[in-house]
Structure formats: structure tokens, C-alpha cells
Amino acid sequence: MELVELKKSLEKYEWFHDIAIDNFKRIVVYAKYINVNVLTSVPDTFQGTHVLVHFASSKDLVREKFVEKIQTYKVQEPEELNPEDIPSILKGFADQCGTETVKEIFMEVHDGDDAVTHFSSVFPVCFRAVSKLYDTYGFDVLAEELGIN
């Protein structure tokens, strides 16, 4: 595809910045600004290929500049349970799954077969740990720690 011809025809305009081919094999005309004159000056197709108009500022955009990388970490199931470790265990799972999710998993453990939610299938390690805590310390201790009244 010979873009030189199209580029030469558009270079005379002050709004013109550059021309390129995107990942989908479409022609992209980059403009410093866009108005009705720009849109009418750029052809809809060129040699049978669709032509798009984008702002010049979008030409060098890199996804990583705008996407925050989230660091994930896994909380391990506790091997030994000590009453003084309950807050840190629950905090670790709350950091990983979210506080409300840990509360929902706690209620799933408490409700058993009558559970309304099913977060346990999404967070099985958390479910097993909360089940272990529930079996060892019961409803009241965990409900108080989780702030469930």
C-alpha cells in the first residue's frame, strides 16, 4: 500500500501530523486538531482501505502508561491456629479478597448448605481457612473480629 501519495495530498494542511497503518491494516491519519474541515479533507477510503482520523497525541500512546499494574500476592492457609493470629489471618484474606468477600465467605460457612452466595468457589483457600477458624473458634469470635453484628 503506497501511502506517499495520500501523505503528500494531506501535508499541505496545518492540522496534518502523520499517517500510519494500524494493527488492523487500516490507514490512520493523525491530526493536530480535528474539526469539520479535517474530516471532510480526509477520504473515507484510500485504495480500498478504510481511513481513520485520530488526534496526533494518541499516536505514541503506550498501554502501560495508563494501566496500573496490580501486584497480587497469595495468603497461605494457616497451619496452626492461635487466637491471637485471627486478626492478622482475616486481614490477610481481606487484603487479597476484599473485606466484604471475607464476610460473605464467613456467612457461607455459617449457613452451610443454605448459603445464598458462592464466593467459596472463587476463593477456595480463604473458604478453607475461614472454615477452619469457624470450626475451631465458632461464630461469635469470628463475627466480632469481622464486625458482623
Burial readout 14-52 (b: 16 or more C-beta within 10 A, e: otherwise) = ebbbebeeeeeeebbbbbeeeeeebeebbeeebeeeebe
Spatial separation of the C-alpha atoms in residues 89 and 107, rounded to whole Å? 17
CA distance 19 to 53: 9
Q: What is the structure's pLDDT at 98?
A: 87
Give helix 99-111 / helix 124-146 axis angle, nearest 10°.
90
Is this prediction's pTM over 0.75?
Answer: no
pLDDT tens for the chain, 149 residues long, are 578 999 999 999 999 999 999 888 899 999 999 999 999 999 999 999 999 999 988 877 666 665 666 555 555 666 677 778 888 888 888 888 888 999 999 999 999 888 888 888 888 888 888 998 999 888 998 999 898 87
CB 131 within 8 A of CB 109: yes
